Every structure is written in structure tokens, then in C-alpha cells.
Chains A and B, each alone.
Chain A
Amino acid sequence: VVPPNADDRAVRWQISFPESLATRSWGTDVVLHDGATRSVHRLDAFSAAVLDVLKAGPADVAALTNDLAARFDLDRADLPEQVERVCRELGRRQLIEPSRP
């Protein structure tokens, strides 16, 4: 569940059901199946990369940004906004959720 009006950059995100995700990719196109909710999602490469980073454990936007920038040699200028947007979308789809303390 995406927290309303929260400072999304402070939220630590985690994958809702890490054991139940399966992906199939062709080039930069990814199709993801969530066995827990039996739902299917079409993702771009960046969203799939965010999920991939979160597989290692909960992370906030800053940590995700650092990891993604290092992995893919990305320009950090707009990256936090992009990561934040993707996290919101993945949260809306119930693929990730705020990490509980």
C-alpha cells in the first residue's frame, strides 16, 4: 500500500512477495508474474532493474538511486525522481510495499 502524502524518499521499499515473482524478458521488455496475487505485469527495463535491486533487501529512494546509477552508469540528475515514480507505480501494483520497521 502506498502511503498517502508521505515523504516517499524516506520510505524504505521492499518486495511484497519476493519468493513468488517470476520474470521473462526479451531485450528490454519484461513480463513479470506474481504467483502470490496471480497477476501479470509488463515492465520496462528500468522498473525491472528497481525490482532487481530490491531483491537484495529493503531500500529507500537514495539507496536505490545509488545502486542503479552504479550498475548502469546513469546520470544522477533526474534519477531520484525517476526511481520515486517507479516505486510509486510498483507500489500501486502491489509488487512492492513500505518496509515495516
Chain B
Amino acid sequence: VEDVLNAGIDVMSTVNVQHLESLNDQVAELSGIRVRETIPDRILARADEIVLIDLTPEALLERLRAGKIYPPNRIDAALNNFFRIENLAALREVALRQVAEEVEQKRLTTVEPLGSREELVAAEAQQAVGERLLALVEPYPGAQRLVRRAWRSAQRLGADIDLLWIRPPGAKLSDDQRRSLTALKQLASTLGAHFLVEESDTIPEAIADVARRQRTTYVLMGRSRPTRGLGRLRTPLPQRLMELLPGVDVRIVADRARRSNGDRG
């Protein structure tokens, strides 16, 4: 598609929703079948217009049985695998949602472009790379909330998500920490996030290295622990990250306990 577009030729094509890369995990979960042939979402995002060809699962099955989709020798296998009515209903829902999101995205971004050509090119290049979130976690129960917030943000941005724990070298974990770490890894795996562990004493630099490596565009972190002594003289972690990672957003997720107290006050 890209080659044809680059040659100055318009492309009109059809695509099945299960082939979209970002929906791969979701489609696998809903249908029980992992689709191997996927296309990057940016291809769909480049489309000037998306038209949904909607069909009820029953009508689609009728077409299949009539031999309008596969040759007769493949019909039974298709009916017993991918073309089950619950799969088709779930995929139909995914397709409707996807198109609705695309339409909304187009509506929100249809504004007069501002800035120089270089700025526009840079902005477009960044968008093409895609958003990627990095959530900084530690093995304690409160970290799960941070992961949930990061997951929600990632969903809204259509972004991938990494969880990072900077482990102090030689640190021994308590039983509670071990349990929390296992739970965090399990949560990351279920969400489709990547759980990364880096051993380092220099936390900001280690985070910045990972962020650069992962092409992070967004860092989420919880409230820092109160510092004492000479630690007070150090630049706080969020500011340090902003210095080390220009162009990367840093977001601090509110502490629930403090927020509740504030509400009451």
C-alpha cells in the first residue's frame, strides 16, 4: 500500500478487522484464534475515508454456506472454527467500535495546521512512531493502581505500555514484596504490557535509558517517597526526568489517600 501511495496512485482496499495489529490480542481473546497476518494501524490511520461494511452474523453465515466466501471443501472447517456465530458477533462489535473511534479521531484532528513545515513534519513523524507509555512501579500493592491508570491512558492513546521497576542492586525482597512483584508481573502479562526490571543505583538515568530504548513518549509515576537529609538537596525525580527526556510527558498519578483527605478538607 505504501509503495503504491508513494507512486502517487490512490488505493481503495478492503480489510477484515481481525487483521489490524492493535486488535490482535483482543481478537485472539474473543475468537480463540491468533491471526498471524496483521497490518500496522498507521496504514488504516492514513486512510482519507473508512467505510464500514456491516453484515449480521447470520447473513454472513448464509453467504459462507452458499459458497460465496470459501470453496465448498473449506466451508465446514470455517464453520467449525472462525465462522462461529459468537466470534462473528464479537468481531462485528470490534469493527463498529474501531470505525467509531476512527471517525472520532478524524473529527478531533480536523483543524487548521499551525506552525512551520519543519514542525509539521516533526509532529507527523512523532505520530507515525506512535505513543508508548512507561509506568514506573515498585513491588507494593499501591503500584497496581498506577498500572490501572497507565492501562486506561494507553487505551485512550492507542499506545503500547511498559512497566519498569528499577531494582536497587543486591536488594533482597520481603515476602510481601515478592508477592506484589508476582502479582504485578501477572497483571502486566494479562494486560499485554511488558514488565521490565533494571538494576541500578542511579534511578533517573536508568529510567531515561529505558525510555530512550523503548521510544517512550509518556512516563507515569506515583508520588515519590518523602526524602530526608541530603536527599532533599537532590532534584526531584519528575524534574530530573524532564531534564533527561526532553519531549517526553511526565505524569504523576495522585495518591488515593491524600486525594481523599483533600476532598474531605
Tell me if chain B binds chain A: no
Chain B residues with a Cβ under 8 A of chain A? none
